[in-house]
Structure 1
């Protein structure tokens, strides 16, 4: 599938993030594969998944493109595919797209984002730049990213914390870059997803609201009156 074919397949569609944090009962490869299968059965256009083992297992079991990443390290630092080694491993596991942190923070291996992009392209995959600001997105597109995603808005020091998706960033990026913009982060309703597309998003990623029963259960429990 060419880059254009992939972009066409994702245009206006839902990408389902099938991930679970360490220690969560859902954090098991076969469980995540079943989640990906359910996402496909429900009409999802692609799956976002974490780690080489999970990426490879989903690729083999589900007939959808996999957007792979590798979370490694402390949440206060670059941890979404933090090094070139991580990125190439995800590409070699079969990801059609490798998602990587493209913020302006230093990478632990000293590499630049442009070097990561070059290595992933050489491995035959595309790159999704996970950014937190407009400037980061513009820079990542200029460094060869095939997609730019709002994944890290609100999760990086210095960016405003929000309860909902950063739709202003979605709109700003859509107006500023020539590559497809993916809306991701705190999208919890179909209405929010549709609004992101109306503001210029090429695709929408939803995770917790679909694939995180532990977090959803905790949300309901917290909303009940005290005993």
Structure 2
């Protein structure tokens, strides 16, 4: 399984997702998007929901970072919040399972350490810990995470005054963490992706800037409407 992480080194991972109310929030559309990204040189893809993961797996052999976003109030944890979500993600065909690895209360009695252990022992999958701070990155590694992403920087109460990409956080994680660090969140140009790798990221994830048609069109329309 470690060879999967090695295959991502120095490469681009494309996050192929779409809002729930978008026509692109469709397994076939997501799979086509993922295949297009991989055909053009991406080393892997990041995919949400078991149905979409299964569709992508049917069209590619590249590494899939899988997750399942589930909003479960009052908990703020929504990226693969419970083990049974991770199990479904694994069964759909993911090689790496992304989980929220912040210290926020989870929507069950499971701890992060327990979830990671179960993913390793029961599912034989790698774990990507999505974090927001260096402290949470170190705690996730102590809990057994195989790699750590800057995914939640700027999206939690502790970092809401910050805007991704978190290059300062990335540098600190590269210097102090003992596992591969994946830069994810806010990468808006090829130059920023290159910068993340130059700062020591093992790989870089880009989503909206490549696949976020709904968001990008809204930005263009908003700018045009204000002319």
Taking structure 1 as the reference length, what is the TM-score of the superposition? 0.95
The alignment of Structure 1 onto Structure 2 pairs a total of residues equal to 225
Q: CA RMSD, aligned part only?
A: 1.4
Alpha-carbon deviations, 1:180-213, whole Å to 9, x = none? 0000001010111111111111000000000111
SS at 1:224's partner residue? helix
Deviations 1:9-62 (A, max 9, x none): 111100000011211121011000000011111100001000111111111211
Conserved 8 A contact 1:18-1:207: yes
Deviation at 1:225, TM superposition (A): 5.5
What are the equivalent positions in structure 2 for 1:145-224 lying under 5 Å apart?
Answer: 145-224=145-224
Contact 1:59–1:65 under 8 Å retained in 2: no
Residue 57 of structure 2 is aligned with which of 40, 50, 59?
59
1:22 aligned partner: 20
Whether the aligned pair in 2 keeps the contact of 1:103 and 1:131 (CA below 8 Å) is yes
| Structure 1 gap ranges (5+) | none
Cα distance in 2, alignment partners of residues 218 and 163 from structure 1:
20
Q: Contact 1:128–1:145 at 8 Å: present in 2 too?
A: yes
Residue segments in structure 2 that go unaligned for 5+ positions in a row:
none
List aligned pairs for 1:4-43, cutoff 5 A: 5-43=3-41
Q: Kindly indicate whether the alpha-carbon contact (under 8 Å) linking 2:10 and 2:197 is maintained by their aligned counterparts in 1.
A: yes
Equivalent-residue separation in structure 2 for 1:92 and 1:185 (angstroms): 26
Supply the distance in 1 between the matched residues of 2:226 and 2:159 (Cα, whole angstroms). 34
Q: Deviations over 1:76-104 (max 9, x none)?
A: 71000001111121112110000000001
Written as runs of structure 1 = structure 2, the 5 A alignment for 1:60-75 is: 60-73=58-71
The residue matched to 1:61 in structure 2 has which SS? coil
Looking at structure 2, the residues matched to 72 and 225 of structure 1 have their Cα atoms a distance apart, in angstroms, of 34
Task: Tell me the residue number matched to 2:88.
Answer: 89
Structure 1 match to 2:106: 107
Contact persistence 2:154–2:163 (CA under 8 A):
no
Instruction: Determine the C-alpha separation between the residues in 2 that align with 1:116 and 1:69.
Output: 13
Cα separation, 1, equivalents of 2:163 and 2:219:
13
SS of the residue 2:81 aligns to = coil
What's the offset of the Cα at 1:223? 2.1
> How far apart are 1:63 and its partner, in Å?
2.1
Q: Which secondary structure state, in structure 1, belongs to the residue aligned with residue 98 of structure 2?
A: strand
